[in-house]
Amino acid sequence: MLEQVQERHPDIDQLWAIAHAESDGVPNRYELDEGELVVMSPSGALHGILTVLIGRLVGNFVEEHDLGLTFGAETGFVLHQDNEAGRSIVRAPDFAFVSKARAVPVGGKFYPIAPDFAVEVVSPSDTARQMRRKARQYLQYGTRLLWIIFPDAPDRFVDVYRPNQPLLTVQGEQLLEGYDVLPDFNLPVSRLFARLDS
């Protein structure tokens, strides 16, 4: 989704207030990137299809095996809190999972820790630099598995990030795996993208 960085350095509580103030009757959508407010535009149709499909497939697996909590698109996660220096990070993945072992009580605001597993679906306006930056931040602050999905690339693929592991790119009939985060979960990339051509 399109991101536009604003010259502003709110803390996490201010971000919550800004994000929930309505503009022309519509709530605003933001992330916080080391204190910089990032405006997020509405998602496209491909994005919506993929996020719901992932939520259903992974969510059902998590529920069936009683593994933890799943979160829908744009749930805010506090990856890093540094309000004094104005360097806090709040990211809103398109899908997320937190294991039972790490889960904390759910409140009404942003989830206070990084997810174990996050999914980002790349929009045409997203840059490689933006996505690499997000990947670094997720892994640095505790995410153990990250899928970055490229639905608009001619050869549609998914980049898989794990701490201390080389970047893995999977496509076609290759499998997306849950590794130790979602043991025994796997999904052919072709199944992920099949809905986009129907």
3-state SS, residue 77: strand
Non-local CB neighbours of 20 within 8 Å, separated by 6+ positions: 27, 28
Over residues 45-53, mean pLDDT: 90
CATH no. of 42-77+87-197: 3.90.1570.10
- Whole-prediction pTM value? 0.86
Within 7-160, where are the H helices? 12-19, 45-65, 128-140
Residue 14, phi-psi category: left (phi > 0), alpha (psi -120 to 50), beta (remainder):
alpha
For residues 13-38, one letter each, b for 16 or more C-beta atoms within 10 angstroms of the residue's C-beta and e for the rest, the string is: eebbebbeeeeeeeeebbbbbebbbb
3-state helix, strand, coil in the chain (%, to 5): 25, 30, 45
Cβ-contact 124, 118 below 8 angstroms: no
125 versus 4: the higher-pLDDT residue is 125
User: Across all residues in the chain, what is the average pLDDT?
Assistant: 86
Q: Which two tokens stand for residue 30?
A: 């933001």
Over residues 22-33, mean pLDDT: 63
Q: Which pLDDT belongs to residue 2?
A: 41
Q: pLDDT per residue over 122-170, tens digit each?
A: 988 788 898 999 999 999 999 999 999 999 888 899 999 999 999 999 9
